């Protein structure tokens, strides 16, 4: 009924606005009083009709507020009604869900942040930069990125409680971009490593670190993709693949390097290591554009173990020099395969060359004139592409191991036994 009254009063007001241009004040006053009487009579008629035709619906409505006297102007005319904004309340269920998520994040930060550290690096007398890291064992072992401490003559670690102490570099691994530090403190809060093979695209993640030197910064995002590959430079001018990289949209910026990427249980699923961006800041530093990368926790576990035991990581080496997913050249070279890796070249005297693996024949213009061998399985595991091959090689083998390669060559399937070398420095 209130809505009907509002519509009727609106009609009266609009009539009044039109009349203002051609009537005297007395005439307008008389007309408004007469229109007001008609409006009140019409509203009462509508109310009576509603009560007669829909009593059940009227009973279900919430009880109306007590009627208020219609405000009057000084001349006794009905005043223009004033509309008051009514805020829309958030449903209790939605508010409760938001409160629960906030509490999860608050609790996660309070548990994890004490184990995250600020790393300050000097090269000679010069402060060369800073990064992040986290305690992996309570007796003072700390994980960070290799690029954070590479070339450092002094590394200082500042804990969340403000304690500063000097750190020793136990070992570095350029290929995984990881480094292990040791400080002379015990009983430290530490972070647990998750199984990165269980990580799923879409799951919520948190990054904690020190972007731009802002200690203890937490950002929230999701896992955007899995199985990315980063290229790490080798001393011979080439490069090797760092496989199984986790991609995230959680904000990662300079200074986050070496900090943890956490699941919502507070376990480390990766170590933040790089971002991809085309928008450098005014200071020339790359800034986040929603594409960040983290070294997976299973790689961290393997590398930390090797650095503690030997101070270095020994990688297996197949000796493949260039490869392409077979589906990219299958039609052109008439190869009836969709999965597998076609070998473009091999290192002379390397493991696969000794086993008889053949690369492709390429003419002077770079065109493939004869297909190379296609690796379709590694120790019985089907291989999809080159990233899959490198991931399987690095995660499951050591230098000196014997492995079996199942290959496709000119319509035939063969099996080769390969003795792995150690990756050259």
Active site residues: 147, 177, 257
Rounded to whole angstroms, the Cα distance separating 424 from 407 reads 25
- Closest by alpha carbon to 306, among 424, 145, 170, 185? 170
Rounded to an integer, what is the distance from CA 98 to the centroid of its chain? 20
Q: What angle do CA 376, 379, 384 make, to 5 degrees?
A: 30
- Closest by alpha carbon to 150, among 231, 232, 260? 232
Rounded to whole angstroms, the Cα distance separating 96 from 203 reads 21
Whole-number Cα distances in Å, 15 to 7, 11, 31: 12, 6, 10
User: 2-19 vs 25-53: helix axis angle to the nearest 10?
Assistant: 160
- Closest by alpha carbon to 169, among 192, 145, 199? 145
The token duo for 127 is: 């402060």
- Residue 134's Cβ-count burial label (10 Å; 0-12, 13-18, 19+) is buried
Whole-number Cα distances in Å, 228 to 184, 223, 388: 36, 12, 10
Residues 6+ apart with CB under 8 A from 85: none
């Amino acid at each position: 009924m209130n809505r009907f009254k509002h519509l009727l009063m609106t009609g009266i007001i609009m009539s009044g606005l039109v009349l203002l241009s051609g009537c005297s004040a007395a005439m307008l006053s008389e007309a408004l009083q007469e229109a007001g009487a008609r409006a009140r009579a019409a509203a009462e008629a509508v109310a009576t009709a509603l009560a007669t035709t829909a009593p059940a619906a009227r009973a279900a409505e919430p009880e109306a507020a007590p009627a208020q006297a219609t405000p009057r102007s000084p001349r006794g005319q009905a005043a223009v009604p004033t509309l008051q904004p009514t805020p829309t309340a958030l449903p209790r269920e939605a508010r409760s869900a938001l409160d629960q998520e906030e509490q999860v994040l608050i609790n996660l930060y309070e548990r994890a942040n004490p184990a995250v550290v600020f790393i300050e690096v000097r090269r000679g007398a010069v402060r060369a930069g800073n990064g992040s890291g986290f305690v992996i064992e309570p007796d003072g072992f700390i994980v960070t990125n290799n690029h954070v401490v590479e070339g450092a003559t002094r590394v200082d670690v500042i804990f969340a409680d403000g304690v500063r102490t000097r750190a020793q570099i136990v070992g570095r691994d350029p290929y995984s971009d990881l480094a292990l530090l040791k400080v002379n403190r015990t009983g430290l809060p530490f972070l647990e490593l998750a199984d990165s093979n269980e990580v799923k695209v879409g799951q919520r993640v948190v990054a904690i670190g020190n972007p731009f030197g802002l200690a203890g910064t937490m950002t929230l995002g999701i896992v955007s993709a899995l199985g990315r590959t980063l290229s790490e430079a080798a001393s011979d001018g080439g490069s090797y693949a760092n496989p199984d990289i986790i991609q995230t949209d959680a904000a990662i910026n300079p200074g986050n390097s070496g900090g943890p990427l956490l699941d919502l249980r507070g376990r480390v699923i990766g170590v933040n290591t790089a971002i991809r961006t085309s928008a450098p800041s005014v200071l020339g530093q790359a800034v986040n554009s929603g594409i960040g990368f983290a070294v997976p926790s299973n790689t961290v576990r393997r590398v930390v173990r090797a650095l503690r035991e030997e101070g270095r990581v020994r990688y297996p080496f197949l000796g493949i020099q260039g490869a392409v997913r077979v589906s990219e050249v299958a039609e052109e070279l008439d190869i009836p395969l969709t999965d597998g890796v076609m070998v473009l070249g091999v290192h002379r005297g390397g493991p696969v060359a000794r086993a008889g693996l053949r690369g492709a024949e390429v003419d002077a213009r770079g065109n493939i004139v004869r297909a190379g061998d296609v690796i379709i399985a590694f120790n019985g595991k089907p291989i999809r592409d080159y990233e899959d091959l490198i991931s399987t090689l690095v995660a499951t083998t050591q230098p000196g191991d014997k492995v079996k390669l199942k290959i496709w060559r000119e319509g035939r399937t063969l099996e080769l036994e390969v003795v792995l070398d150690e990756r050259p420095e």
